Each structure stands twice: as structure tokens, then as C-alpha cells.
Amino acid sequence: MQITKRKLIIEGSLNVLLLLLPIILFIAGGFGMAEHDSSHPDVLVLGGSLLMGGLSLVMLAIYAFSWRQHGWRQLSVLRRSLIVFYGIWLIIGLWTWLMFLGIIS
């Protein structure tokens, strides 16, 4: 699959923009927890993790379709690394969702 440098930059930029909100939630919640804030900053960390799990599910489905269509060797290094990244975050997000729902403790 031939992909131009411009498309790679756009694809990378879109992924960075999508990941900003969960990362900001993680950081804000982490600072709040470090300062022992009483306004429940742990909810920000949980919300960021749950949002990241949902985002990973959608993005992994998109990249898996691309993987199936073009094959692993034809994918760019960016897409391969994003498949691995979103796969790991999907596992973390799924684990967080299951803990949040009380299915696992």
C-alpha cells in the first residue's frame, strides 16, 4: 500500500487530537489525587481510562479493517504501531470497564 507523507502526517495528527482528551483527564486527575483534592479527582482518571477504552475499540476496528484489506507487511510503521498501541489500551480499558461494573474485583 503506497501512502504519502502528507497522509501519514494527517493520520498521526488525528490520532494525537483524539488522544488529547483522555490524556488531559489522566493528568488532571493525577494532580488532583497528588494534592489530596476533595472534589473526587479519581473520577477524572476513571473517566479518562473508560474513554480511552471506548476510543481504542473504535480505532482498533478501523485499523483492523485496514490490516485485513492490505496485509500486515503492506501497512506503514505508523499503522502497525497504532494497532499495537490501541490493542494494549483496549485490554486496559476493558479491564477498567469490568472493574467499574463490578464484574471483576
Tell whether 8 is covered by a domain: no
Tell whether 3 is covered by a domain: no
Tell whether 64 is covered by a domain: yes
Q: What is the CA radius of gyration of the chain?
A: 16
- pTM to 2 decimals? 0.78
Tell whether 6 is covered by a domain: no
Tell whether 24 is covered by a domain: yes
- Number of domains within the chain: 1
Whether residue 2 has pLDDT greater than 80: no
Q: Which domain holds residue 63?
A: 13-101
Tell whether 7 is covered by a domain: no
Tell whether 38 is covered by a domain: yes
- What lies within 8 Å, CB to CB, of 21 at 6+ separation is 48, 51
Tell whether 1 is covered by a domain: no
Quick: pLDDT tens for 50-94: 888 889 999 999 988 988 888 888 888 888 898 999 999 889 888
Over residues 9-27, mean pLDDT: 89
Side-chain-facing half-sphere of 32: CA atoms under 13 Å: 16
Q: Please, are residues 29 and 42 in contact by the beta-carbon 8 Å criterion?
A: yes
